[in-house]
Amino acid sequence: MNVKQTLLRHSNKAIAVVILAILVIIPVVMVLLRSFMIDDAFQLLAPIRTIIEGDLGEVFVNSIRLAVTVVLVTTVIAAPLAFLTGKTELARAKWIDVALLIPFMTPPYIATMGWILFMQPRGVVDQYLPLLGAFRPLFFSFWGIVMVMSFNLFPFIYLVIKNTLMEITRSLEDAGAVHGGTFLYRMRRIILPLVFSGYTMGALLIFVKTLAEFGTPATLGRRVGYYVFTTEIYRFTNQWPIDFARGTALASVLLITSMLVWYVQQLLASRHTYSIVGGRDHGKKYYRLGKWSPLAWAYVALLLILSIGVPYWSIVTSSIMRIWGHGLAAGNFTIENYAQLFTAGTLGARALWNSLRLSFLAATIAMFLGTFLAVVIIRSRGAVRQFIDVSSLLSNTVPRIVIIVGLILFWNAPWMRNITVYNTAMMLALTYTVAFLPYTVQYVKANFQQIDVSLFHAAQVSGAKSGYITRRILFPLIRPGMVAGWIMTFIISIRELVGSLMIRPPGIETSATFIFRQFDQGVVPLGMAMALTTVGLTTVVMVIVQQGKKTKATEAA
């Protein structure tokens, strides 16, 4: 390596460190520092003191209680389904996994709104299923929040458990059976230990996601008076009277709690990880359901109805109503709600256009920035590489609302007043970029690691310069990761709620804030039309991309 290449690599590392410091590290540090300050003096126990003196202990207990309960309920829901689709003849029904992608594609706040429309007075239940009205008090309570969040999050644990079950070979279970082990004994001594490591990862992921979730607590939780970290952080930092001391105290406690959970997960995974080493693969062992088959299919159907059918039925039907509350009656159907979203000059059209253009901009910036960081990470060594790698993924590890509070503190600081980014539409694009940058970094790294270094050596031997190698070899090979990162950032940015609510400047609406405000103000049909349009647009983008990949694969073959 010549001196010029060495200097270039060192300068790239320095640039990467500076970029990550400005975008992620300094904002997070500012949240922590602000939370430890009382009357401009640093106090180690300041966050705890602020929470106790501010009567916020209940918020902490509420958050932990909700997260633990959601983990337990998602486990109860997902474990039987994972066993059915991973170890029985239901494994042939591949469409089940495809159907369970729908909760992934549905923003939690939209699914929650669908459930509220279903259960509220004069809602779907009262109109068509009045007997279910007896469950309304239970739904509009802590258990309703748990149920809605569990139906949205259970696919995480389901996929982890199922994939682990699929890796357990037939020989292990046959060996247990040969030595006299009953089905329950084999489950307890063979299958469960092998599943445990993956399960802890999924369970703790759901724990952190529940702590960091804003949409469901802000829509349903607020109605039942159940307040958690995210809703109170939003209230203290965005609603009058502004109280950043309490907001940052809660944010720092949320951050520390999340970091502790990730540490526990790594500790458990390292102590309870098993390697399946064997010779000949005897295939997978599948159990016959026999007379239990109808019950198994009924369980699958019930889960699909509750996680997909109920919310989407409410969303679709309400979006085509003239007046919410009159039900599916003759003369109450209209497409006017959708027409407003595509009529130039209307509030809905402007909100949709803002989301599209800002998401496009954020996805493009994140694609180039994430690619640069991924290449620097792969080509670096030692502590610098580890620092850049960890920092580039920090916004996907730290709860999003903490990142957003940090961005507010940093870009609205006195020394940033001459840089006119805060309180503009560009601040929204910057927020989306920072929040979803890790997707591009991860996808590009995955593609890069599959490239054989001999390709670069061959090009160098043939006299190719560094720029030529990058342009003609590197970028064509990592392009799929760049495109995948762009798509993920674009899709999630369009639906991003908490960042849009907290960062958006006056007079600018996005599709997510439009849905939230229309629902909050009782203009249900228009809000649900926007919700369905948003989900539809992101789904169409995914389908087009997947079709494009299939076409290219066919042409290559």
Strands (E), 333-446: none
| H or E stretch covering 37 | strand 37-38
Q: Fill in the amino acid letter for 446.
A: A
Q: 321-329, long-range: CB within 8 Å, 24+ apart, which pairs? A: 321/524, 321/525, 322/525, 323/525, 324/117, 324/522, 324/524, 324/525, 325/122, 327/127, 328/127
81 Cβ contact list (under 8 Å, min separation 6): 154, 158, 299, 300, 303
Rounded (10°) CA dihedral 480, 485, 487, 489: -170
Q: Which residues of the chain have pLDDT under 50?
A: 277-282
Give the count of alpha carbons within 13 A of 415, CB side only: 1
The reported pLDDT for the residue numbered 108 is 92
Is the fold of 1-30+339-547 the same as that of 45-271+292-319?
yes
Q: Fill in the amino acid letter for 207.
A: F
Pairing of strands 41-42, 37-38: antiparallel
**DSSP 8-state secondary structure symbol assigned to residue 504:** P
The residue with tokens 């410091």 is: 21
Domain locations along the chain = 1-30+339-547, 45-271+292-319
3-state secondary structure 78-147: HHHHHHHHHHEHHHHCCHHHHHCHHHHHCCHHHHHHHHHHHHCCCCHHHHHCHHHHHHHHHHCCHHHHHH
Neighbours of 314 (CB within 10 A): 24
* Omega prior to 241 cis, within 30 of 0: yes
The reported pLDDT for the residue numbered 486 is 92
Helices (H), 305-346: 310-319, 336-341
Identify which of 306, 312, 300, 314 has the alpha carbon closest to the alpha carbon of residue 106.
312
Whether the full predicted model's pTM is greater than 0.85, yes or no, is: yes
Identify which of 494, 496, 500, 509 has the alpha carbon closest to the alpha carbon of residue 542.
494
CB 169, CB 274: distance < 8 Å: no
For the domain covering 45-271+292-319, report its CATH number.
1.10.3720.10
Instruction: For residue 469, give both structure tokens.
Output: 């190698």
Q: Looking at domain 1-30+339-547, what is its CATH homologous superfamily?
A: MetI-like (1.10.3720.10)
